[in-house]
Amino acid sequence: MYIIIVGGGSVGYYLARTLVKTTHEVLLLERDRASHRRLAEELGEVVMQGDGCEVRIMEEAGGARADAVVAVTGDDEDNLVICQMAKRQFNVPRTIARVNNPRNEELFHRLGIDATVSSTKIIYNLIEQEIETGEVIPLAALKRGNIEIVEVEIGPKSPVLGRQVQELPLPQNALIISIIRHDHGTLPTPETRFEVDDSVIALVSADREHELRDIFAEPVG
């Protein structure tokens, strides 16, 4: 595949550096001359100086034969226009835009961009995941059959504290396979009681995951 990356900031630089080691053909476009010189010293001929919003530059860069254009500048309006021009003028099959303001993600899709990436949103989601206890964390998905292995931490307010495994109203297609207590994995019996800081490892079908969450989650507020 021929991939044109527009914007030689950190994202563009590392993306280009990663892609040149693959079998893909890569071109990194950077508008600023000083930045371009620095990038070219390290990455060599795959870096080109020019404004990716200019049709003339895209033409020179070979936009007509590009399989993907990735716009990763720091300005959402530039990323939008780069992708739209690539689509309209050069019929590039796949356009990917970095979105700095997460609220622009939906807008970009409506305006014809194939895929968007928002680091703000990704990091925010990770933080949310970290702070919620009683959250069901997927550890692995079994390749076939739609079954996941998940982990649930038992917090100090969990409604299952002191209760036995057999008392839980477990959904169908869910099975508690291990309880990790003080770094020791145990195979629970129906009589095993839950203690605080237990890590419960369970098998559950993906569509029943939320029911498992409801059983273990701490009451809100």
Partner 1 sequence: MNVIILGCGRVGSTLARLMYRDGHNVTVVDMLSESFRRLGSKFKGQRLVGNGIDEEVLKRAGIETCDVFVAVTQGDNRNIMAAQIAHEIYHVPTVLTRINDPVRADIYRQIGIHTICGTTIFSGLMRDFINTGVWNIAKDYNAEYLSLNV
* Binding positions for partner 1, rule: CB under 8 A: 53-56, 75-78, 80-81, 85, 88-89, 101, 103-104, 107, 110-111
Q: How far is CA 207 from CA 93, 111, 138, 148, 183, in A?
A: 34, 32, 13, 10, 29
Nearest distance from C-beta of residue 120 to partner 1, angstroms? 14
Strands 199-205 vs 174-181: parallel, antiparallel or unpaired: antiparallel
Query: Is residue 173 classed as helix, strand or coil in its secondary structure?
Result: coil
Nearest distance from C-beta of residue 103 to partner 1, angstroms? 6
Nearest distance from C-beta of residue 88 to partner 1, angstroms? 6
The answer to whether 47 touches 71, Cβ cutoff 8 Å, is: no
Q: How far is CA 49 from CA 19, 32, 35, 60, in A?
A: 19, 7, 9, 11
Nearer of residues 75 and 128 to partner 1, judged by Cβ: 75
Nearest distance from C-beta of residue 61 to partner 1, angstroms? 15
Nearer of residues 73 and 158 to partner 1, judged by Cβ: 73
Nearer of residues 86 and 200 to partner 1, judged by Cβ: 86
Nearer of residues 84 and 158 to partner 1, judged by Cβ: 84
Q: What is the DSSP letter of 164?
A: B
